[in-house]
Each structure stands twice: as C-alpha cells, then as structure tokens.
Amino acid sequence: MASSEQVVRHFQEELEQLKARLLQMGGLAEEQVRLAIKGLVDRDRAMLARVLAGDGPLNALHIEVDDRCFTLLALHQPMAVDLRAIVAAVKINTDLERVGDLAINIAEAAQKYVEHLPVKKLIDIPRMGSIAQGMLRDALDAFVRRDVDLAQRVLNEDDTLDALKTQIFRELLTYMLQDPSTTEPALELILISRHLERIGDHATNVAEDVIFMVSAKDVRHHAAEG
Amino acid sequence: MASSEQVVRHFQEELEQLKARLLQMGGLAEEQVRLAIKGLVDRDRAMLARVLAGDGPLNALHIEVDDRCFTLLALHQPMAVDLRAIVAAVKINTDLERVGDLAINIAEAAQKYVEHLPVKKLIDIPRMGSIAQGMLRDALDAFVRRDVDLAQRVLNEDDTLDALKTQIFRELLTYMLQDPSTTEPALELILISRHLERIGDHATNVAEDVIFMVSAKDVRHHAAEG
C-alpha cells in the first residue's frame, strides 16, 4: 500500500498534469481565435476553413480534463485550496471550450464578411482580438502560478474591451446609415466584436475563479454585496 | 458521533436543498427573461428598469449554491452519481447566472429599441423567448428528476431556436436594406435574438450535464468522436 506521503505526491503530480492540460487547451483556443481574426483581416478563406475544422483537439481535451477532475475528486479527498483548484479547473475547462466555440463563430461570420467588399480597414477588431487573447493567456498564467495580482489585471482589461466594442458599434452604424450597401458585412463585423467581447468575459471568469481559489474571496457580484 | 446512516441521510438532505436552490435560481432567471421580453413587446420602460435592477437575488443564490457545493464536496466524499450531481450543480449554477446576465443584456437592448419607432410587430422574438424559457425549465426538471429523456428533448429544441434566429436575421436585414431608418432598432432586435439563442445554449449545457450525471455518458462533441 502507498504511504500517505506517496499519495500526496501522486495527487500533486496529477494536479500539475491537470494544469498542463488546461494550459494546452488555452494555447489551442488562443490560436483558434488568432487564426479566425487573421483569416478575417487577410480575407483568407482557407485559413477560416482551417479554424472551422480545427476544434477537434480542443474538444478532446475538454472531455479529458473533465475526466481528470472527476478522478481527482473521487480518488483523493482534496481540501481547502486543492479542492478549490479542482472546482476552478472544472469551470475553466468549460470557459476554454466556449472560447473555442466562439473562435468558430468568428470564423463563420468572417466567411460571410469576405463575400462582400471590405467595409473599412480593420484596426479595432484585431486590437480587440489581441486584448482578448492576452487576457486569456494572463488568466491561465494566473491560475497556474496562483497569482492574484495578475488575475486582478485581467479583470481591469475587460473595460478596455468593452469600450472598443461600443466604439466599433457606433462606427459601423455610421457606415450602415451612410451607405446601406455596407449593412450586411458591417453586421457581421458587429457580431464578431460581440464574440470577442464574450471571449474577454470568459477570461474574466477564469480570473475570478483564480482569485477565489487562492484567497477564498468571492469577487463576483460586487454590486449585489453593496 | 453520527452513525453512517445519519451521515448518508444528512448528505441526501443537503443534496435536496441544493437542487431546491437551483430550481429557485431557474425560476428567477426565467422570470427575468420573461419580463425583459414582455417589457420589449409592451414597450414598458418601467418593466425593463425592474429587470435591470432585479439580478440581486439571483447573484446571491449563485454564491450560496457555490458554497453549498464546496461544503458537500469537502465534508462528504460523494462518489459516482452523487459526485457527478454536485459537479453538475457547479456547472448549472454558472449557466443559470449567465442566463440572468443575458436577461439584463436583453433589457438593455430593449431600452435602446423602445427609443425608436417599432420596426415591426414582434412575433418571432417572443416565440424564441418562450422556447428558451421552456428549455430552461425542462432542463432543470430533468436535473431534479434525473430524467434523461426530458434532457434529450431539450437538446432537440435547440434546432428550433436556431432556425428562428436565422429567420429573424434575414427578415430584419430586409427591413434595414429597404428602409435604413430601421437600422438602429433592427440591430437591437438582432442582438436580442442572439441573447435568446445563448439562453438556449445554456439550457442545452444543463441538459448535457444531466445526461452525463445520470448515465456517465458524454453527449458533447459528437462530431469530434467520429
């Protein structure tokens, strides 16, 4: 029979592997978002098609991570921060899978967009894409390093993304009103900016889970606590 | 010290309370969606304002349910279907909170919509609202009763919602192209239909969790499994 020290070490190794899988998922999700936005900007249909066909590895990891979480909960009886880390992993796993879905949504909207003449030179949407990707990366780094300060910075970035979304909406609305022939493609750009906003929301969820995991402090629903 | 029979009974009582809280959350979320859509259709600003101010109870329950899940995992060491039920509760809790957020998003878009003249008589959006609410209710009933057949019916309903979303998009695009003065309000309706679609997605997530909880069978990512 294993000594309790061996059991603890085994648990910590399993936890490290779980974190490694989540980082891998984060990398895949981020890359899907990057390719979808690059495919949009470069009007590259082949790249967009690759995004649409490219969610297999992410989905396989999603199921694997869920399994690992169940196994860790069932075989060990983690307490305190370890328990919070596994429950956080369950949630983060869901968030990362949704980011993958949103990359697909972006690629689908981009495919429709490139059927039309360009509405404008795309600057703010790639900027939103970079910010959202950065938030996702930082949130996962914060999870792995249990870094509350970094998680807090992710929460602050969300306002930037929100401001860009509003700016993009106003600008595209102006285009649509001035030249109705831009309506269809401009609509797709608005939807893409909403998808990017939601990717930021998922990064925010991850950051909130990190803060709760480390400090057992709930930073959600500030207003409700008032 | 408590007998093991008492411990088991205590655990089952706690699990029942957890389910009751999730049902209560579901009821609140559903009511927020109902009011947001009714406020939109009736152009009732007071009702929309009530939705915007009304997420406090839902957010408080969200935190309470998370706490209950942690306590159940830490104090008891649930196995098999009980463990899957608690992990499902963690996920469902997140889904219901997001539905509450989406009701807020709908009310915000509706507030902007009612600043304009009506684009059209609203028929398909309230229909989407009813379907999404029904999916949510059925998914939660399926969770409480561990009813896989009902969960499966929720998954099937999602296609109806998706078809309505596409139809609404096409119709509103036609309005915008024929009369650009409808562009701004029509855009808000398109965004509202997207929010309703996402509520259906959350109901679908709940239904998938129910199927996994009962049968330990993963119905996600069919395509990826080949």
pLDDT for B181 beyond 90: yes
Tell me which chain A residue has its CA closest to the CA of residue B79: A74
Q: Inform me whether the C-beta atom of residue A77 falls under 8 Å from chain B C-beta atoms.
A: yes
Percent of chain B with pLDDT over 70: 96
Can you tell me the mean pLDDT for A213-225? 68
pLDDT for B38 beyond 50: yes
Contact between chains at B183 and A194 (C-beta distance less than 8 A) = no
Mark B158-192 as b/e (b = at least 16 C-beta within 10 Å).
beebeebbeebbebbeebbbeebebbbbbbbbbbb
Can you tell me the mean pLDDT for B3-24? 87
For residue B48, name the pLDDT band (cuts at 50, 70, 90).
very high
pLDDT for B192 beyond 70: yes
DSSP-assigned letter for residue A225: H
Tell me which chain B residue has its CA closest to the CA of residue A79: B74
* Higher local confidence (pLDDT), A3 or A173: A173
> How high is the pLDDT of residue A6?
74
**What are the pLDDT digits (tens) for B200-209?**
999 999 999 9
Contact between chains at B91 and A87 (C-beta distance less than 8 A) = no
Q: Inform me whether the C-beta atom of residue B56 falls under 8 Å from chain A C-beta atoms.
A: yes
- Reference A221, options B21, B65, B220; nearest CA is B65
What is the pLDDT of chain A when averaged over all its residues?
93
For residue A71 the two structure tokens come to 């196994």
pTM over 0.90: yes
- Residue by residue, DSSP assigns A1-64 as ---HHHHHHHHHHHHHHHHHHHHHHHHHHHHHHHHHHHHHHTT-HHHHHHHHT--HHHHHHHHH
Can you tell me the mean pLDDT for B138-145? 96
For residues B173 and B193, give the distance between their C-alpha atoms in angstroms, rounded to a whole number.
Answer: 13
Residue extents of the structural domains in chain A: 4-225
Q: Inform me whether the C-beta atom of residue A69 falls under 8 Å from chain B C-beta atoms.
A: yes
Q: Inform me whether the C-beta atom of residue A222 falls under 8 Å from chain B C-beta atoms.
A: no
The kind and range of the H/E element at A205 are helix A183-215
Tell me which chain B residue has its CA closest to the CA of residue A54: B224
Nearest-Cα distance to chain A for B150, in Å, is 23
For residues B187 and A189, give the distance between their C-alpha atoms in angstroms, rounded to a whole number.
Answer: 12
For residue A13 the two structure tokens come to 């190794």
End-to-end C-alpha distance for chain B, whole angstroms: 52
pLDDT for B129 beyond 80: yes
Size of chain B in residues = 226
Give the side-chain half-sphere CA count within 13 A for A83. Answer: 19
**What are the pLDDT digits (tens) for A56-107?**
999 999 999 999 999 999 988 888 889 999 999 999 999 999 999 999 999 9
For residue B14 the two structure tokens come to 């706690």
**What are the pLDDT digits (tens) for A177-201?**
999 999 999 999 999 999 999 999 9
Distances (CA, A) of A6 to A9, A10, A14, A80, A190: 5, 6, 12, 20, 54
A 164-193 residues with CB < 8 A to B: 173, 176-177, 180, 183-184, 187, 190-191
Question: Class of the B4-225 domain?
Answer: mainly alpha
> How high is the pLDDT of residue B2?
58
For residues A53 and A75, give the distance between their C-alpha atoms in angstroms, rounded to a whole number.
Answer: 36
Percent of chain A with pLDDT over 90: 86
> How high is the pLDDT of residue A224?
41
Distant-in-sequence, close-in-space partners of A29: CB < 8 Å, separation ≥ 6: A58, A96, A99, A100, A103, A136
Chain B interface disruption, residue of A70, A99, A179, A181, most B CBs within 10 A: A70
